[in-house]
Every structure is written in C-alpha cells, then in structure tokens.
Structure 1
Amino acid sequence: MGEIIISRVYDAEPAKGAVFLVDGMWPRGVRKDDLELDGWVRDVAPSADLRRWFGHRPERFAEFRTRYRRELDGNPDAARPLLDAARRGPITLLYAAKDTEHNNAVVLKDYLRDRLAASA
C-alpha cells in the first residue's frame, strides 16, 4: 500500500507518485497545462450541496466528515482510481482550499486509508 499525500494545488511542493486533483471545480488561476496530473477525479469531490453547506467553516468539519464519507460510501466507483493507484505506490491528492486542516482532501485521505486497510 502506497503513501497518500495531500497538497494544496497552489503550493510548489513536488508531488509523489500518481497525482490526482480531487476537487469538483478546477482551481482558480491555474491553467490546465500547468498541472501534471494522472487524473482529475471530480466524482470523488463532495456534492455541491454539501460543499455549500460546509462553507469551509471549521465548526462544521466533524459533521462534514460524516456526511462526506456517507457520500463516498454511496458512490464506491468514484474512489476506485485512487484506491487502485494507492495499491501500486504513493499518490498525491491535490486540492484548492485555503484551510489545510478542514477540507475534503483531509477526509478523503482518511477514507482511502480505511478502505485500503479493510481490503488488505
């Protein structure tokens, strides 16, 4: 099982392994040819309704985590490319949110780790 790294799309840190954008919308100010991606996995992003409800408000993060994981469970095929890549080696999940502790990539990383551990 490979390492799962999360990184802001705007940070200049080098990515490890396969690189996936995990937001539903393309990040502002970033040209598509500026990112070297193995995939843009839009279907794994939180629904528009959930994203609007959360509004990146840290006090809602615990409930966001619960609701987002429920959405992921309801659409298991969405995470399959990420799980397959993580079984082969390290992956980097790119996200655009400013808050590095309260965002969908944080939840998704934990979700993927749990799914990988359950299938091992």
Structure 2
Amino acid sequence: MWMSGKISEKNVKLKRAYERPMDSDGKRVLVDRLWPRGVRKTDAAIDYWVKELAPSTELRRWFAHDPSRWEEFRRRYAAEIEAHREEFDRLRDLALKSPITLVYAARDETHNDAVVLRELLLAHRYNAPSRCKERRRLT
C-alpha cells in the first residue's frame, strides 16, 4: 500500500538501546550495523534491524563520534542512504502507518546516525505517483 504525505515528528522517536523499551515506542527499529554491546536481544525488544541503513563500517570508523566531523558525516551518510532507497522507503512506509522509535547505541545523543536518519525521514515527502508507475512496470 503506497501512502502519501509527510511523517509527523511525533511518529519518529529516538532512543538509546540501553533505555528500557516502552509501549509508547511503537515499532522499535535498530539502526546500527552492530548489535549494541551488553544488550540481550530479549531485553531490547527490537522489531526490525535495518543494517542496510546503518553507516558503512568505513564511514563509522572515520566519524568515530567526533563532533568536529558531524557535518561531513551527515552529508556522507545521507549519500549512503540514497544508495539504499528501497530500505529507506520501507522504513518511511512504516513511519507513515504508525509510530516508530529509531534505536541506537551511541553515547552522544545529538551526533549519531539515528539523528540523521530521523531528519531524512521527516524531511522527505513521499512521491506516491512515481512509485506506483514503477511498481506497475515491474509486475
């Protein structure tokens, strides 16, 4: 089902993997490439793990959570996400339907990949007509 419109800010929350899951989180989506250290899978209550949308190992190592590299990290990470458009669109579909929480392990709550991914989800307007045309051609 293709939906159009913009995602509400309240539909995309951010939360560290070390914080307790709550019913208000909605669907919990782990956005890191690596499983958070010391967190048991049963305790994390992760509904989806989108490794494809996580920063590449090279980008993650280059950034090293250095705030002075933040702007360049944001630019490079957005380019990586563009290369995984299908996965990004699936995540957008999910956020359009119900609340989601992007779960991450980083200590820095303002300079991490989940922050960038949330910004992109909220800023991008879904282009339903062109998507429907693509779908018809594929079937």
TM-score norm. by structure 1 comes to: 0.91
Q: How far apart, in 1, do the equivalents of 2:75 and 2:126 lie?
A: 18
1:113 corresponding residue in structure 2 = 122
Q: How far apart, in 1, do the equivalents of 2:29 and 2:119 lie?
A: 16
CA RMSD after TM alignment:
1.5
1:54 is the counterpart of 2:63:
yes
1:76 corresponding residue in structure 2 = 85
1:12 corresponding residue in structure 2 = 20
| Native 8 Å contact 2:21 2:44 kept in 1 | no
Counterpart amino acid of 1:85? Answer: L
**Residue 6 of structure 1: CA displacement?**
0.6
Q: Could you report, residue by residue, the CA deviation over 1:12-71 in whole angstroms, capped at 9, with x for unpaired residues?
A: 362521111000000000111212122111110000000000000000000000000010
Structure possessing the higher radius of gyration over alpha carbons: 2
1:102 is the counterpart of 2:108:
no
Count of paired positions? 119
Runs of 4+ in 1 over 6 A off after TM superposition: none
Residue identity (%)? 45
Q: 1:45 aligns with which of 41, 48, 54?
A: 54
Structure 1 runs not aligned, ≥5 long: none
Q: How far apart, in 1, do the equivalents of 2:85 and 2:21 lie?
A: 30
Counterpart amino acid of 2:13? Answer: I
Q: How far apart, in 2, do the equivalents of 1:101 and 1:18 lie?
A: 21
**Residue 118 of structure 1: CA displacement?**
4.4
Q: 2:34 aligns with which of 22, 25, 32?
A: 25
1:86 corresponding residue in structure 2 = 95
TM-score norm. by structure 2 comes to: 0.79
Determine helix, strand or coil for the equivalent of 1:93. Answer: strand
